[in-house]
Amino acid sequence: MAKKKNNNNRVQQTNVNETAAPAVEKAPAPAWLKSKSMLLLKLFFILAVVLFCIHYTDEKKYFDPDMEGAPQATYKRWDSFYELTREDSIDILVLGNSHANHSINPKNLSATTGTISFVMAQNGADIADAYFSLEEVLTKTTPKLCVVETFPCIAEKKKTKRENAISRMKGFSARRNFYLKMKSMPDLYEYDDYLAAWSPTVRNHEFLFRDTAQINRNILLKKKPNMRKKAAFDTIPLYLGRMARFQTGLSDSLLRVYKEKGARIVCSDTSSTNAVIQPETEYYFRKIAELCKQHDITLLFLTVPMYHKHIENYQFWHDEMAKIIDPLQVKWYDLQLENDTAAYTPACFENTYDFNQHITYHGSMITTYKLAHYIHDSLNVTFPDRLKDAHWNQLFYAQEGYFFNCLPKEQDPVRRLITKDQELNGVKVKALFYEVTPQFRNMSVMVEKGKASDSRKGLRLFLRGRARGRVYENVPLHALKVNGIDPLYHDLYMVPFVKDFEPDSLMSIVWDEK
Instruction: Write down the pLDDT at residue 5.
Output: 46
- Measured in residues, the chain has a length of 514
Tell me: pLDDT of 510 over 60: yes
Question: What fold, for 51-378?
Answer: Rossmann fold (3.40.50)
Instruction: Write down the pLDDT at residue 245.
Output: 85
Instruction: Write down the pLDDT at residue 46.
Output: 76
- Is the CB of residue 102 less than 8 Å from the CB of residue 364? yes
Q: d(Cα 126, Cα 285) in Å, to the nearest integer?
A: 11
pLDDT band for 161, please (50, 70, 90 cuts). low
- Is the CB of residue 250 less than 8 Å from the CB of residue 257? no
Query: 342 burial class (0-12, 13-18, 19+ CB within 10 angstroms)?
Result: exposed
- Domain map of the chain by residue range? 51-378, 407-511
Instruction: Write down the pLDDT at residue 454.
Output: 66
Instruction: Write down the pLDDT at residue 188.
Output: 75
- Cα dihedral 347→351→355→356 (10° resolution): -70
Cα-based distances in Å from 389 to 89, 104, 376, 383: 14, 24, 19, 13
Instruction: Write down the pLDDT at residue 203.
Output: 59
Lowest mean pLDDT among 104-118, 166-180, 185-199, 469-483: 185-199
Cα-based distances in Å from 463 to 414, 416, 434, 459, 470: 19, 14, 12, 13, 14
Among residues 305, 355, 16, 29, the alpha carbon closest in space to that of 163 is found at: 355
pLDDT band for 336, please (50, 70, 90 cuts). very high
Coil, helix or strand at residue 17 = helix
Tell me: pLDDT of 239 over 70: yes
pLDDT band for 290, please (50, 70, 90 cuts). very high
462-481: average pLDDT: 94
C-beta neighbour count of 141 within 10 angstroms? 16
Q: Which residues pair with 420 in a beta bridge?
A: 431
Instruction: Write down the pLDDT at residue 267.
Output: 84
pLDDT band for 174, please (50, 70, 90 cuts). confident
Beta-strand runs (E) in 75-230:
92-96, 117-121, 145-149, 154-156
DSSP letter at 125 equals -
Q: What share of the chain is helix, strand, coil (3-state, %, to 5)?
A: 45, 20, 35
pLDDT band for 225, please (50, 70, 90 cuts). low
271 CA to centre of own chain: 31
* Tens digits of residue pLDDT in 67-93: 555 557 778 899 999 999 999 999 999
Supply the pTM of this predicted model: 0.82
494-504: average pLDDT: 86
